[in-house]
A and B are shown apart, each in its own frame.
Chain A
Amino acid sequence: MMSFSTSDDLLKNWCVLVVDDEADSLEVAQTLLEMCGATILTAKNGQEGLEKAIQHRPRFILSDLSMPEMNGWQLLHALKNDVRTQDIPVIALTAHAMQGDRELGRAAGFHNYLTKPLVPETFINTVLTLLLGVPSLAADLASRKSGE
């Protein structure tokens, strides 16, 4: 089974956008990603996230769903409708964990759907494993993975 060893340079040179209106949640995700060497952009709502995504074109986006002004669904819709951002994988990270929510998310176009609370020890590994399915990232990720 492939896995990534969480080292401080695992995501070196990677720019990741985290969108969440809740400051604590935003910080947990941001901290975990930064511990692996990633550069983090944060946004407090979908609108802000969309602007930063267009401007910085991050490798991938972690987005909450329930947010003021522009929620995660609307953000996804906007990103997919923009040529500049339509290739960026968006992973939902949400406290909506009722039966059926995951399927709705996948159907809407999220690359994948993770529920809060996240598991700190395995979070990075889980995210990167999910991203292996993205062709544009696959090669880069393959060079960073370790172990079988």
Chain B
Amino acid sequence: MLQAMTRSLQSKLILALVLAVLIPTTIISVYTDRTSTSLLIDNARQEESSALVVATSQIVTKLGDAENNVLFVSQTSTTKDYANLLSGNRRTTDKTVNALAEAQTALLRSFLTNTGGAFRRIYVLDAQGYLRIGVDNEAGTLALMVADDQEDRAKEPYFSEAVNLIPGQVYGSNVELSMTKGHIEKPYAPIIYYSTPIFDDYNNTAGVIVSELDVHHVFATVVKHDLNQQWLIVDSDGSYVWHPVASKLYGRMLGHRTRLSTDQPQDATVIFGMDTGDLVRSQERPDTLQTFTRMTPPDQPNIDWRLVKQRSLHSIYGAVSQSRRTICVLALVLLSVALVVGSLLVRSVVQPIRSLYNTAQAIMLGNLTQHVEVTSKDELGQLAVAFNEMTTAIQKRETDLRQQAEELRIATAQAKEASRLKDEFLAVMSHELRTPLNAIIGFAGILSISKNLDPQVLHKIRRIRSNGERLLTLISDILDISRIESGRMQLTNTPISIRQLVERLDAQMNVLGEEKGLAFKVQVDDAVPQLIEVDQDAMTKITTNLLSNAFKFTEKGEVSLQVLRQGSTLVIQVSDTCIGIPAHMHEIIFETFRQVDSSSTRKYGGSGLGLAIVRQLCNTMNGTVQVSSEVGQGSTFTVTLPIHAYTQLAGSPA
């Protein structure tokens, strides 16, 4: 039980601590992630579009330079001389044909050298399109092109387009693959032809000077691939001019079908749909930022490329991932610290609680001297102090209660003893009073039934007798009232006949009536059951006492006894024609030792206990007794008792 409780409390607190660490950490990291991610993407888009602008301008510059360089070569005097040579003019020079050719070759060589390897070849075609002189840059080694190359180049655009140009104009091709003797060279060498016509002194087109710009050379320094980014240069038909995967290149020239539109159909639509833009997490490149722009160098109508830069988002989010890792490590560290601190904290909380629990158990088992060790001044310490104070208070209260219980026990014992002594005293008094009364009444009786007695003596003997009997009644009344008031009057209900009881009383009371010359009327209503379950002694005592009083206080007239049934109650009415009882005395007469008038005590003998006994008996029997009387009008005492008809014998004759 205890184990389970502390375990549960412990785990609850530690769980709360863990949550307290994890929830804010998670919120912070998610928030940071979100904001920094969108920031980084925005930055990257700007970066990438700048990079595109730079790359485009660099390429355009290089292409323009290439164009200008060729134009420059075509306009040198050496070339002019060579043009005259080609046209057959010997006007201005005395140089030999060989010298002119050599000078031109030297010019072309210096061109290749001075342009830093940007061109693969430069050569001069005559007006018929035949190669007359050329220099080839084979892997950094300059070689004369075979002059007897009789390959017909007249139909090649770099000739046919250039040969009709006016001075100062240059033809630029699209990317082509370098050819040797009518075949595509391998490895593939992408080039752009720049060609321009050369003119003799008569401004006749003497031939065409053709250069082959090494596209690799142009692109290599500008659009470099690395792990995180790659460049695509896409031709207007969607084929790749520049792609990290060699096999995808040159679809147009090689006649294969690889295009941007086959690799990324949806993206291709977007990229070809606008001049500049970007794609973030496109469906086809979900982890890539793609920036693109259209590139059309001025005066080079054959070139219409799209530069596409693809950058992995991973490289962009690098910083975020880093911070994510940092946050995770931080969270783990925080978690460990929280667990350690939490465990210590929980122990410092649970330990005192456990101690309180153990003490509470001990106290429950009655060990009130057990106290909790107070180890701190915090709330738990205060609780422990309060607990100890409570224990002390309980201990004191228990001691007090024990003392009170003991006092009560002694008092009860004393009361019981007193009661027992009282009973014993009453029994002894009863016995001791009855013994002499036996002699008084006995001898008086014996004398009164003796024959030949002087009437005056007889009268006095009767007075002795009746006084003795009054004394006896007094003793009985005192014993009765004592018994009733101490609650020891035990009623035993037996089926009795009210009519027989009334008959006996009629006989007894008639004697009293005759003595005082009073009429006595008795009536029992027909509705009264034959047998009633009631305590006979109590019933007799109630009726007798009421009748005795009536006869005692009535000087002339009559006394009547009426027994009725009202619903479930039995009503006994005793009426007389006495002097009456003033209203203010109606309650008092039922109190112990009271008569209407203390002076009447002398006039009418009696203890004053009779009515008190009647009331007490009625109360004991769950009934009531009331008086209605006016001075000079007599009085009526009405007793009502709950009736218990003895049904088994009801209806049998009394």
Q: Contacts A98-B430, A117-B468 hold; do A24 and B439 have CB atoms under 8 A apart?
A: yes
The segment from A25-33, A77-85, A105-113, A127-135 that touches chain B is A25-33
Given contacts A95-B430, A97-B430, contact A120 B438 (CB under 8 A): no
Within 8 A of B (CB), among A1-50: 22, 24-25, 28-29, 31-32, 35
Are the CB atoms of A28 and B430 closer together than 8 Å?
no
Q: Is residue A118 within 8 Å, beta carbon to beta carbon, of the partner chain?
A: yes
State A31–B483 Cα separation when bound (angstroms).
35
- Between B435, B437, B441, B442, the greatest number of chain A beta carbons within 10 A of the residue's beta carbon is seen for B442
Q: Is A71 among interface residues, defined by CB-CB distance under 8 A?
A: no
Query: Nearest residue in A to B435 (C-beta to C-beta)?
Result: A95
A24 touches B438 (CB 8 A): yes
Chain A neighbourhood of B435, CB < 8 A = 22, 25, 95, 116
State which residues 429-486 of B face A: CB under 8 Å: 430-432, 434-446, 448-449, 468, 472, 479, 483
Contact with B along A66-86 (1 / 0, CB 8 A): 100000000000000000000
Contacts of B77 in A (CB 8 A): none
Given A96-B427, A117-B472, is A28 in contact with B483 using a C-beta cutoff of 8 Å? no
Report chain A residues within 8 Å CB of B434: 95, 97, 115-117
On whether A117 and B490 interact (CB within 8 A), knowing A31-B446, A97-B430, A98-B427, the answer reads no
Proximity string of chain B (404-448) to chain A, C-beta cutoff 8 Å, 1 when within and 0 when not: 000000000000000000000011001110111111111111101
> What's the least CB distance linking B419 to chain A, in Å?
14
Number of interface residues of A (CB under 8 A): 21
Asked if residues A95 and B442 are in contact (CB atoms below 8 Å), the reply is: no
Q: A99-B490, A117-B437 are in contact. Are A28 and B446 (CB under 8 A)?
A: yes
Bound together, the chains give a CA A146 to CA B436 distance in angstroms of 33
Partner of A120, one of B426, B445, B479, B490: B445
Chain A hits for B441, CB < 8 A: 117-120
* Centre residue among A31, A35, A115, A116 by max chain B CB count within 10 A: A116
**CB-CB under 8 A for A28 and B427, given A22-B435, A116-B434:** no
Chain A residues whose CB sits within 8 angstroms of the CB of B426 once the complex forms: 98
State whether B431 touches A66 (Cβ < 8 A): yes
**Whole-angstrom distance between the Cβ of B453 and the nearest chain A Cβ:** 14
Q: How far is the CB of B478 from chain A (nearest CB, A)?
A: 12
Given contacts A95-B434, A98-B427, contact A121 B449 (CB under 8 A): yes
Q: Are A117 and B438 in contact (CB under 8 A)?
A: yes
Residues of B within 8 A of A116 (CB): 434-435, 437-438
Q: Which residues of B contact A99 (CB under 8 A)?
A: 483, 489-490
Q: Which residues of B contact A97 (CB under 8 A)?
A: 430-431, 434
In the complex, per-residue mask of A53-66: 1 if CB is within 8 Å of any chain B CB, else 0 = 00000000000001
Tell me the interface secondary structure of chain B in the complex.
helix
Write the nearest CB–CB distance from A54 to chain B, whole angstroms.
28
Q: Is the CB of B446 within 8 A of A95?
A: no
Contacts of A66 in B (CB 8 A): 431
- Please report the C-alpha to C-alpha distance between residue A118 and residue B441 in the assembled complex, in whole angstroms: 8
Q: Cβ of A22: which chain B residues have Cβ within 8 Å of it?
A: 435
Chain A residues within 8 Å of B446, by CB:
28, 31-32, 35, 120
Residues of chain A contacted by B483 (CB below 8 angstroms): 99
B438 close to A118 (CB less than 8 A): yes
The verdict on A28 contacting B431 (CB below 8 Å), with A116-B438, A121-B449 known, is: no
With both chains docked as a complex, state the minimum distance between the C-beta of A105 and any C-beta of chain B, in angstroms: 14
A119 to B434, CA, bound (A): 12
Task: Choose one: B430, B438, B449, B479; the contact of A25 (CB below 8 Å).
Answer: B438
Q: Which residues of B contact A121 (CB under 8 A)?
A: 445, 449
Taking the closest CB of chain B, its distance from the CB of A93, in whole angstroms, is 9
**Docked pose: A96 CA to B434 CA in angstroms:** 8
Q: How far is the CB of B429 from chain A (nearest CB, A)?
A: 10
Taking the closest CB of chain A, its distance from the CB of B99, in whole angstroms, is 175
A96 touches B431 (CB 8 A): yes
Contact partners of B439 in chain A: CB under 8 A = 24-25, 28, 117
CA distance A28 to B441 in the complex (A): 9
- The answer, among A28, A35, A95, A96, for a CB contact under 8 Å with B443, is A28
Question: When chains A and B are docked, how far (Å) is the Cα of A97 from the Cα of B473?
Answer: 13
Shortest Cβ distance from residue B420 to the other chain A in the assembled complex, whole angstroms: 13
B440 engages A117 (CB within 8 Å): yes
Closest to B437 in A: A117
Partner of A119 from the list B432, B445, B479 (CB cut-off 8 Å) is B445
- The chain A residue sitting closest to B443, CB to CB, is A28
Chain B residues lying within 8 Å of A96, measured Cβ to Cβ, are: 427, 430-431
With CB as the reference atom, state the residue of chain A lying closest to B442.
A28
- Asked if residues A28 and B449 are in contact (CB atoms below 8 Å), the reply is no
Distance between Cα atoms of A96 and B424 in the complex (Å): 12
Report yes or no: B442 in contact with A117, Cβ–Cβ below 8 A.
yes
Query: From B489, which residue of chain A is reached at the shortest CB distance?
Result: A99
Shortest distance from the beta carbon of A72 to any chain B beta carbon, whole Å: 13
* A58 CB to nearest B CB, Å: 21
Query: When the two chains form their complex, are residues A25 and B431 in contact, meaning their CB atoms are under 8 A apart?
Result: no
Q: In whole angstroms, how far apart are the Cα atoms of A67 and B9 in the complex?
A: 83
Which residues on the A side are within 8 Å of B430 (C-beta)?
A: 95-98
- A100 to chain B minimum Cβ distance, whole angstroms, is 9
**Nearest chain B CB to A33's CB is how many angstroms away?**
11
Q: Which of B17-64 contact A (CB under 8 A)?
A: none
- Picked from B438, B444, B449, B479, the residue with its CB within 8 Å of the CB of A95 is B438
Q: How far is the CA of A116 from the CA of B427 in the complex (A)?
A: 13
Distance between B311 CB and nearest chain A CB, rounded to angstroms: 119
Least distance between B221 CB and chain A CB atoms (Å): 137
Give the residues in chain A near B442, CB-CB below 8 Å: 24-25, 28-29, 31-32, 117-118, 120
Q: CA of A66 to CA of B483 in the docked complex: distance in angstroms?
A: 23
A22 CA / B431 CA spacing, docked (Å): 12
Least CB distance from A99 to B in Å reads 7
Chain A neighbourhood of B489, CB < 8 A = 99
A-B contacts, 16 of them at CB < 8 A, read: A24-B439, A25-B435, A28-B438, A66-B431, A98-B430, A99-B489, A115-B434, A116-B435, A117-B439, A117-B440, A117-B441, A117-B442, A118-B438, A119-B441, A120-B449, A121-B445
Give the 5 A-B CB pairs with smallest separation, nearest first. Answer: A120-B445, A28-B442, A95-B434, A24-B439, A116-B438
Residues of A with Cβ closer than 8 Å to B?
Answer: 22, 24-25, 28-29, 31-32, 35, 66, 95-99, 115-121
> Which residues of B are at the interface with A, using a C-beta cutoff of 8 A?
426-427, 430-432, 434-446, 448-449, 468, 472, 479, 483, 489-490
* Besides the known contacts A25-B435, A25-B442, A96-B430, 19 further A-B residue pairs in the complex with CB atoms under 8 A apart: A25-B439, A28-B438, A28-B439, A28-B446, A35-B449, A95-B432, A96-B427, A97-B434, A99-B483, A116-B435, A116-B437, A116-B438, A117-B434, A117-B438, A117-B441, A117-B468, A118-B442, A120-B449, A121-B449
